[in-house]
Amino acid sequence: MRILVTGGTGFVGSHLVKGLLEDDHHVIIIKRSFSNTDRISNYLDRIVSYDIDKTTIKSVFENESIDVVIHAATSYGSRESLSEQIESNVVFPMKLLESALEHKINAFINTDTFFNKPAHRNYKYLGSYSKTKRYFLELVPFFQNKEETKFINARLEHVYGPNDGPNKFTTHVITQMLNNIPSLDLTLGEQKRDFIFIDDVTSAYRLVIKNLHIFSDCYNEIEIGRGMSVSIRHFIESAHLLTNSKTKLKFGALPYRESEIMDSYANTLKLNELGWSWNDGIDDGIRKIINHLNT
Q: Identify whether 28 is part of a domain.
A: yes
Would you give the DSSP letter of residue 158?
Answer: E
246 has pLDDT over 70:
yes
Per-residue confidence (pLDDT) for residue 217, from 0 to 100? 77
Task: From the candidates 76, 123, 125, 129, give the one annotated as an active-site residue.
Answer: 129
Per the structure, the count of domains in the chain is 2
| Domain containing residue 98 | 2-156
Are residue 67 and residue 45 in the same domain, yes or no? Answer: yes
Q: How many other C-beta atoms can be found within 10 angstroms of the C-beta atom of residue 22?
A: 10
Q: Identify whether 273 is part of a domain.
A: no
Q: Identify whether 222 is part of a domain.
A: no
Q: How many other C-beta atoms can be found within 10 angstroms of the C-beta atom of residue 213?
A: 7
122 has pLDDT over 90:
no
Torsions phi, psi for 50 (to 5 deg): -120, 135
Q: How many other C-beta atoms can be found within 10 angstroms of the C-beta atom of residue 122?
A: 10
183 has pLDDT over 90:
yes
Torsions phi, psi for 153 (to 5 deg): -95, 115
CA 88 to CA 268: how far, in whole Å? 29
Are residue 8 and residue 82 in the same domain, yes or no? Answer: yes
Calculate the average pLDDT of the chain.
94
Q: What is the CATH number of the domain that holds 173?
A: 3.90.25.10
- What are 208-232's pLDDT values in tens digits? 999 999 998 788 999 999 999 999 9
Are residue 133 and residue 176 in the same domain, yes or no? Answer: no
Q: Identify whether 110 is part of a domain.
A: yes
Domain boundary among 93, 127, 156: 156
pLDDT band at 116 (very low <50, low <70, confident <90, very high): confident
Are residue 41 and residue 96 in the same domain, yes or no? Answer: yes
Are residue 145 and residue 233 in the same domain, yes or no? Answer: no
Angle (nearest 5°) at CA 233 between 14 and 12: 10
123 is catalytic: no
Q: Are 11 and 164 in contact (CB under 8 A)?
A: yes
The highest-confidence range among 75-79, 82-86, 201-205, by mean pLDDT, is 201-205
Are residue 28 and residue 140 in the same domain, yes or no? Answer: yes
CA 119 to CA 216: how far, in whole Å? 26
Are residue 9 and residue 114 in the same domain, yes or no? Answer: yes
Are residue 41 and residue 141 in the same domain, yes or no? Answer: yes
153 exposure class (CB count in 10 Å sphere: 0-12, 13-18, 19+): buried
Q: What is the CATH number of the domain that holds 29?
A: 3.40.50.720
pTM of this structure: 0.94
Q: Identify whether 198 is part of a domain.
A: no
CA 158 to CA 165: how far, in whole Å? 14
Q: How many other C-beta atoms can be found within 10 angstroms of the C-beta atom of residue 191?
A: 17
